[in-house]
Amino acid sequence: MGLLDNIKRKIGDSVLRKSRKSNRRRSMFHNFATAKHINILFDARSELKFRVIKNFIKEMEDSGKFVSALGYTDKDQDTSGLLYKKDVNFFSPKQLNWYGKPTDDTVKAFVIDKPDILFNLCLDDNFAVKFITAASQADFIISGKKDDPYADFIVDVTGNNDPDFLLKQIKYYLQIIKRA
């Protein structure tokens, strides 16, 4: 990482910390029985990963939940093959400011939405995803990254970068954990 990249990252980290402090979201546990509105943040850089997410979205909708999803793509990736429905959007590095914060209106709308659960299914280290998770207004944030400081519940799948495995683990825990 070059000097300019280090400067960008330090400025981005500073802005991220400040925005997190000003985020006054309420944190409340939800499981599949109590959640009615779900947001999904996912890595859309491969069709295999998207297929897993697409199946999860259908499963959640079939159980009566409103689902909105936001996928991260590479800058040159064609998302036309990934188009699924109106509540599934994508963002790319082209929609980030100079230090990595998302600036696109669809991302802003996703962030200010107030779902019961936000599933952060991005297992790679992605600065834009950190911004989205930190600013989210979700009642309950679930992540598969063991070092996600913005998650309320972490399902550690270190060593297994398969979104299908992560979703199976999340489903297992959200079905057995009851609300107090």
Residue 164 has pLDDT above 60, yes or no: yes
Helix (H, G, I), strand (E, B) or coil at 165: helix
State the average pLDDT over residues 16-24: 77
Is residue 133 pLDDT above 70, yes or no?
Answer: yes
CA atoms of 157 and 147, how far apart (whole Å):
11
Distance, CA of 142 to CA of 113 (rounded, Å): 16
CATH number at residue 48: 3.40.50
- According to the model, what pLDDT value does residue 75 have? 66
User: pTM for the full model?
Assistant: 0.89
Using one digit for the tens of pLDDT, what is the confidence trace for 29-78?
999 999 999 999 998 888 888 889 989 999 999 999 999 999 998 866 55
Q: How confident is the model at residue 180 (pLDDT cuts 50, 70, 90)?
A: low
> Domain tally for the chain?
1
As a whole number of angstroms, the distance between CA 148 and CA 134 comes to: 10
Asked if the model's pLDDT at residue 153 lies above 90, the reply is yes
**How many CB atoms are located within 10 Å of the residue 95 CB?**
18
Q: Which domain holds residue 99?
A: 3-176
**Direct distance between the N- and C-terminal alpha carbons of the chain, in angstroms, rounded to an integer:** 46
Say whether 133 sits in a helix, a strand or coil: helix
Report how far apart, in Å, the C-alpha atoms of 30 and of each of 27, 104, 141 are.
10, 28, 9
Backbone angles phi, psi at 4, to 5 degrees: -65, -40
